[in-house]
Amino acid sequence: MIELKDKKVLITGGSRGIGPVIAESLKIRGAYVALAARSESGLQDVAERLSKTGSKVYIVPVDLNIQSQREMLIDSVLKEVGTIDILINNAGLETEGAYVELSWTEIKETVEINLIAPMALVRLLLPSMLKNKTGHIINIASIAAKSGAPYAAVYSGTKAGLAEWTRGLRLELKGTGIHFSTIFPGYVREVGMFARFGKKSPWIIGSCSPEQVAKAVLKAIQKGKIEEIVNSRQLRYSFIINELSPKLGDWLMQISGAVAFQRRKIGK
């Protein structure tokens, strides 16, 4: 089992949602945590809270929509801690709405943050990781990557792209010492967009807690798990059905109430 003590970890999306929960789970196990997010005040609040459990948390306010800001982030963390052992691409936009009603700006920014930014950060980090023959990239995808969600088509597409890009790199760099893991959370209770919605999801979809997502991240690092689905077991069977018969999968989404549930989430 891989020990986390003294590992240098960079987590994007660290100011809210599951980011702080993941950070805390790593920090109490001795990891040095650097947090990145757009909100400086949000980062400061999280850092102050986490610093009570041990060493200082390094924060970097950054707009991951901009390439020069991504470069600044990596340079800043490397200058501060010398190396990045683990990168957790957690930042993401949960863009929802009828596709034809979304502005092109919303669509483009979702693709940029959810997919292009992780690609850019990994590209910036890989040379040093390959030189050191060690490193771990963890990408937070979504169950929407396994089965596209209506009224979240752009989000689903970016998360599916993230997952398959991760798979491609994992195979390409096998044997180099660089490890890749993908986490697929479902609807997350207590924090984030779904929690603010304040409704219980259909039985077949289920939900998960932030702590369950953090536990999956720990398992990926410590036990080398390459993929972890964090959600109800019954939904996993629907993924199998969807792969074997997309038509049957679509029917199952309809009769389970999943499509109607997504429609209610956006007020339709």
User: Which are the catalytic amino acids?
Assistant: 155
* Backbone phi and psi for residue 244, each to the nearest 5 degrees, phi listed first: -75, -35
Are the C-beta atoms of 113 and 91 separated by less than 8 Å?
yes
Residue identified by tokens 């999968």 is 249
Residues counted in the chain: 268
Q: How far apart are CA 162 and CA 155, in angstroms?
A: 11
Helices (H), the chain: 19-27, 40-51, 67-81, 104-111, 117-132, 153-172, 192-197, 210-223, 233-244, 246-255, 258-265
Sign of CA dihedral 113, 118, 123, 125: positive
Q: How far apart are CA 36 and CA 107, in angstroms?
A: 22
Question: What is the DSSP-derived secondary structure letter of residue 200?
Answer: P
Are the C-beta atoms of 7 and 33 separated by less than 8 Å?
no
* Coil, helix or strand at residue 134: coil
For β-strands 135-140 and 8-12, DSSP reports them as unpaired
